[in-house]
Amino acid sequence: MSLKLLLVDGHAYAYRAYHAIRSLNGPDGAPTNAIFGFIKMMLKLDLTLSPTHRLVIWDGGLSSERVAALPSYKAQRPPTPDALAAQLPQLVEWLDAAGWESLEEEGAEADDWIGTYARRAEAAQWQTIIASSDKDFHQLVTERIGLFNPNDKSDKVWCAADVEAKIGVSPAQVVDWLALVGDTVDNIPGVPGVGPKTATDLLKRFGSIEALLLGVATIKHEKLRNDVQTHAEALRRNQLMVRLRCELVGGPDLCALAPRPAAKDRLRQMYRRWGFRSLLSELGDEPVEKQGDLF
């Protein structure tokens, strides 16, 4: 049997669920919108992708290396909304009861753990699907590692050709492309005046930032040539910032990520507590009239 690992960007899906359902509360008045949306998303991922192994990975804080290299890294991001923060532990609780593995390590970013597990699975000759819309994961795509973007309504798993069609460079060039363009989401400044098209053109011509810096004198456009020369050190820093650390140590073994049988009694208790009538019904063995008064 072919082994297929599903890696889910936990916080990204939690935020997506939180914003997709604006108002939903349990019988006790506590917010449950992120919980309900997240559960439905996980169930759909499992049904659509049919993984043999699954892992939801959560952010444990910012990388100290990245913050040391660029103190403003992600500094502009607002704090997690209180209503969402209150629901996050319950998402982990649901994952455990539903038989999913999850991982969070203090001081480690989810992206690096996702990269680490994708490379571990690749080395073991497994297929891996990363569920996230984060463009940083484009750098990981290979024959054995694909991307499932929740913003892509086609439900296709992106391969290297899809990445190149989207941004114009191969997955192996994505780190350099992001270093040139920068990333406003992560507060990483790129080279002034270098947008996606210019970055793509430069990498098509030179192949890499190293070759670009060696051959920068051959750039005819004076302003572009000067900007690249002036920001040479920033480009090298940006490579450090955007390249995922794929050799983290620890975490559960790959084989431990196989789905566990769902603890249905625990799930029933949770669904009653949250008022999720439809999810209770899907579990079966419970008369509809006993199922509360919400979803």
Q: Tell me, what CATH number does 34's domain have?
A: 3.40.50.1010
140 shares its domain with 264: yes
Q: pLDDT (tens digit, 9 = 90+) per residue, 64-87?
A: 999 999 999 999 889 999 999 999
Q: pLDDT (tens digit, 9 = 90+) per residue, 212-234?
A: 999 999 999 999 999 999 999 99
Domain end call among 225, 242, 259: 242
237 shares its domain with 154: no
Under 8 Å between Cβ of 135 and 151: no
Q: What is d(CA 166, CA 163) in angstroms, rounded to the nearest whole number?
A: 5
In a domain, 166, yes or no: no
Q: What is d(CA 80, CA 181) in angstroms, rounded to the nearest whole number?
A: 27
Give me the residues of the chain with pLDDT under 50, please: 288-294
**Phi/psi at 58 (5° precision):** -115, 150
Under 8 Å between Cβ of 177 and 199: yes
User: pTM of the entire structure?
Assistant: 0.93
Return all residues near 269 (Cβ < 8 A) that are at least 6 apart. Answer: none
pLDDT of residue 292: 41
pLDDT of residue 295: 52
pLDDT of residue 194: 94
pLDDT of residue 286: 56
Number of domains observed in the structure of the chain: 2
Beta pairing class for 101-104 and 127-131: unpaired
Return all residues near 134 (Cβ < 8 A) that are at least 6 apart. Answer: 9, 12, 111
195 shares its domain with 54: no
Residue of 248, 213, 249, 247 lying closest to 230 (CA atoms): 213
207 shares its domain with 252: no
